[in-house]
């Protein structure tokens, strides 16, 4: 399979801080890829290097076969980036801004029908002649997404695109991005919403302190960390504690809820029997499956 993005042993140092610490990544064409990690992990630095905005201290990066340093223009033309911050030129209306951006990438009038389509798909038509300055936050976000797509880049990078975005726009945005992915665009997403990454991304890399701590298909990651959990709501009066034999089973307590990590299904019988003997009532019982959020917490310790 052809690669859309390759990072080869990439490092970025700021003074004594190793923001990105020797990362190698290969993202195949057509992937829906999630770059996850807590604040300060190095995600933005990765994306800024991919966009050619920040120069790696060492290592190399290529996009669609173009080296980001040696073939900056071709590499830059291959990527559309939806930035985290709402940065825009206050003098243009939405359509002018999109035309201008298309021109920057060498696209002329022939691209207008695509601009119309992007405007429609992001439901910006009513605002097409409104000055960027006068748009609401959500509308500005839509316009910036349109701006990233205007030159039909094969690779689309979305840096926390749904932070502070209402549910309706979030859903509209995701159905549009999913379609673009089906049409063959490679998507890279950074997000804090693990649920979103789990629902959308075929594969993910989890970063911590400039390093990748896990990289795999979303399915494999979930499988690798899969454990059956049993959540019990217990009526533990102040004078009672968990019986010693089940205290030894890995668990965490949140208020009245106790989540046990089961090694074998027969642990269930052991737990309920032991609670019965100790006359501890089970108020509620639930099986919980591990999700990407749990995997992330385990790996990043955040």
Which residue, 17 or 297, has its beta carbon nearer to ligand ADP? Answer: 17
Verify binding: residue 163, ligand ADP, rule CB under 6 A: no
113 near ligand ADP (CB under 6 A)? no
Residue 160 CB, shortest distance to ligand ADP, in Å, is 8
Q: Which is nearer to ligand ADP, 16 or 239 (CB)?
A: 16
| Least CB distance to ligand ADP at residue 144 (A) | 18
CB of 278 to ligand ADP, least distance (A): 46
Considering only CA atoms, give the Rg of the chain: 24
Cβ nearer to ligand ADP, comparing 41 with 75: 41
DSSP letters for the chain:
--EEEEEEEEEEEETTEEEEEEEEEEEETT-EEEEE--TTSSHHHHHHHHTTSS--SEEEEEETTEETTTTHHHHHHTEEEE-SS----TTSBHHHHHHHHHHHTT--GGGHHHHHHHHHHTT-GGGTTSBGGGS-HHHHHHHHHHHHHTT--SEEEEESTTTT--HHHHHHHHHHHHHHHHTT-EEEEE-S-HHHHHHH-SEEEEEETTEEEEEEEHHHHHHHT--EEEEEEEE--TT----HHHHTS-EEEETTEEEEEESSTTHHHHHHHHHHHTT-EEEEEEEE---HHHHHHHHH--
The CB-of-241 to ligand ADP minimum distance in angstroms stands at 41
Q: Which of 45, 147, 186, 218 binds ligand ADP (CB under 6 A)?
A: 45
Q: Which CB sits closer to ligand ADP, 15 or 167?
A: 15
Q: In whole angstroms, how close is the CB of 57 to ligand ADP at the nearest point?
A: 12
Least Cβ distance, residue 141 to ligand ADP (angstroms): 18
Interface with ligand ADP in residues 238-257 (CB under 6 A): none
**27, 32, 33, 44: residue in contact with ligand ADP (rule CB under 6 A):** 44
User: Nearest approach, Cβ of 127 to ligand ADP (angstroms)?
Assistant: 30
Interface of this chain with ligand ADP, residues 3 to 42, rule: CB under 6 A = 14, 17, 19, 37, 39-42
* Beta strand pairing call for 155-159 and 79-82: parallel
Q: Of 5 and 230, which has the nearer Cβ to ligand ADP?
A: 5
Residues lying near ligand ADP in the complex (CB under 6 A): 14, 17, 19, 37, 39-45
């Amino acid at each position: 399979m052809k690669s859309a993005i390759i990072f080869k042993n990439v490092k970025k140092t700021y003074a004594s801080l190793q923001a990105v610490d020797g990362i190698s990544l290969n993202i195949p064409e057509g992937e829906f890829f999630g770059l996850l990690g807590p604040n300060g992990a190095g995600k933005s630095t990765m994306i800024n290097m991919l966009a050619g905005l920040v120069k790696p201290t060492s290592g190399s990066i290529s996009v669609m076969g173009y080296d980001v340093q040696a073939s900056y223009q071709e590499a830059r033309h291959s990527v559309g980036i939806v930035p985290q911050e709402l940065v825009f030129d206050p003098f243009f209306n939405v359509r002018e801004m999109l035309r201008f951006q298309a021109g920057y990438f060498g696209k002329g009038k022939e691209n207008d029908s695509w601009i119309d389509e992007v405007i429609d798909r992001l439901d910006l038509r009513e605002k097409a002649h409104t000055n960027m300055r006068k748009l609401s936050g959500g509308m500005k976000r839509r316009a910036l997404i349109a701006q990233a797509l205007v030159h039909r880049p094969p690779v689309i990078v979305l840096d926390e695109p749904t932070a502070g975005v209402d549910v309706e726009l979030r859903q509209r945005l995701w159905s549009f991005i999913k379609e673009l992915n089906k049409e063959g665009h490679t998507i890279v997403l950074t997000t804090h919403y693990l649920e979103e990454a789990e629902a959308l991304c075929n594969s993910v890399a989890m970063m911590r302190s400039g390093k990748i701590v896990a990289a795999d298909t979303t399915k494999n990651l979930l499988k690798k960390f899969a454990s059956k959990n049993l959540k019990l709501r217990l009526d533990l009066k102040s004078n009672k504690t968990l019986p010693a034999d089940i205290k030894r089973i890995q668990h965490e307590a949140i208020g009245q809820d106790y989540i046990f990590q089961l090694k074998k299904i027969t642990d269930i019988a052991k737990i309920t029997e032991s609670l019965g003997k100790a006359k501890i009532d089970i108020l509620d019982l639930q099986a919980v499956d591990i999700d990407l959020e749990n995997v992330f917490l385990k790996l990043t310790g955040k």
